[in-house]
Amino acid sequence: MLSAMNHCILIALAVSTLPVVAQEVHPDRTVTFTHTAPNAREVSVSGDFGKRGEMTKGEGGVWSVTLGPFEPNIHSYNFSVDGKQVADPLNNRSKPQRSGISNVFEVRDQAPSIWDRQPVPHGVVHLHEYDSKSVGTTRRLRVYTPPGYEADDQRFPVLYLFHGSGDNEATWTDFGRAHVILDNLIASGKAKPMLIVMPDGHTMPPVPRDSPKAAEVRNKNLGSFEADLLSDVMPMIDKLYRTRAERESRAIIGLSMGGNQSLIIGLNHPDLFAWVGGMSSAVREPDTQLAPFFKDIAAANERLKLLWIACGKDDFLIQENQKLDAMLTEKQVKHTYIESAGAHAWPVWRRYLAEFAPLLFQ
């Protein structure tokens, strides 16, 4: 057995040989990023926080830069080494996404944020694999059930929540903290207990955004995703879970690509969804893509409980959102349109979910 003195010496030696810390959050909410690359010519860091940070090479080939201050939130980042995007080898927290790797760090506020896990009753996130007859393959989704779901035979309304391009069915929970946000909202009495269904929004292999086939693939993906949602996912959810399977008890919203999906599917199926939203989304051809919705605006206004659209002022899709808002206003479609601070990033979308969920099923 080691003596107390030897034990202390071993600890001291272990601490002295620890590797470089990947990122350090300071009390003023600035963050120092470091990356070891002795042979690199250029190293930088970028993420959902905007401007790329050019790093400076120091002793031992350790590159570093201090950025910020950051707003309290959960952020993603990765390094670029001589033009090649690389993950942080010293950080085992990563963001679920379709390709590539982004690491995660948190900047906390003095008071808990709505996405911070708090001492309140917690719901359960269920993982599903299912055979989609519409797509012809095995697919995945996640379902959040609220606290107390298992306690009785009560039925619950359902929010269908979609991710953006490049993400997957795990991103809204593992990175977006949707389940934590709802736990906190329900505990405070701000939101009704509800199920959240988070499917995989991709039904086709990816293509580069600048590919000549990008628009064609995007439209095909929308069509096959809609078929999967309506013919496979929703019947399965209503069969496996105690849902209130009527339009007044269904909501649909997504971000970016998922917002395009939620607006087009939700508005064109008023028999299925009474609560519709889009975060930082873009309906590129509203006259044709929303043609079924625009056929009878008076009936649509009567049936819709809520049409909610929000976008950050620094989002690259802000003009598309402003155009849609103007069209809906001109056609006298009842809706709520919000422009907030922020860009096309998850810190914005977590807040949007926390604003949208309390409006539902009231």
Is residue 216 in a domain? yes
Domain termination residue (choose one: 107, 133, 158): 107
Return the percentage of the chain with pLDDT > 70, whole number: 94
Mean pLDDT, residues 94-101 taken together: 86
CA 279 to chain centre: 10
Is residue 88 in a domain? yes
The number of domains in the chain is 2
Is residue 135 in a domain? yes
CA angle 357, 170, 283 (to 5 degrees): 60
Is residue 288 in a domain? yes
Same domain (yes/no): 291, 200:
yes
CATH code: domain of residue 71:
2.60.40.10
Residue 1 has pLDDT above 80, yes or no: no
Mean pLDDT, residues 164-168 taken together: 93
d(CA 152, CA 107): 38
Q: What is the domain range of residue 129?
A: 124-359
Residue 208 has pLDDT above 90, yes or no: no
CATH code: domain of residue 354:
3.40.50.1820
For residue range 298-341, list pLDDT tens digits in order.
999 999 999 999 999 999 999 999 999 999 999 999 999 999 99
Same domain (yes/no): 79, 193:
no
**250 and 272 in contact (C-beta within 8 Å)?**
yes
For residue range 18-48, list pLDDT tens digits in order.
456 678 999 999 999 999 999 999 999 999 9
Beta bridge partners of 71: none
195-212 residues labelled b (16+ CB within 10 A) or e (exposed): bbbbbbbbbeeeeeeeee
Same domain (yes/no): 91, 136:
no
Same domain (yes/no): 154, 89:
no
Domain termination residue (choose one: 107, 141, 158): 107
Residue 218 pLDDT: 85
Is residue 269 in a domain? yes
Residue 15 pLDDT: 34
Same domain (yes/no): 100, 148:
no
**Residue 21 burial by Cβ neighbours in a 10 Å radius (0-12, 13-18, 19+):** exposed
Domain termination residue (choose one: 62, 80, 107): 107
Rg of the chain, C-alpha, whole Å: 23
Same domain (yes/no): 75, 220:
no
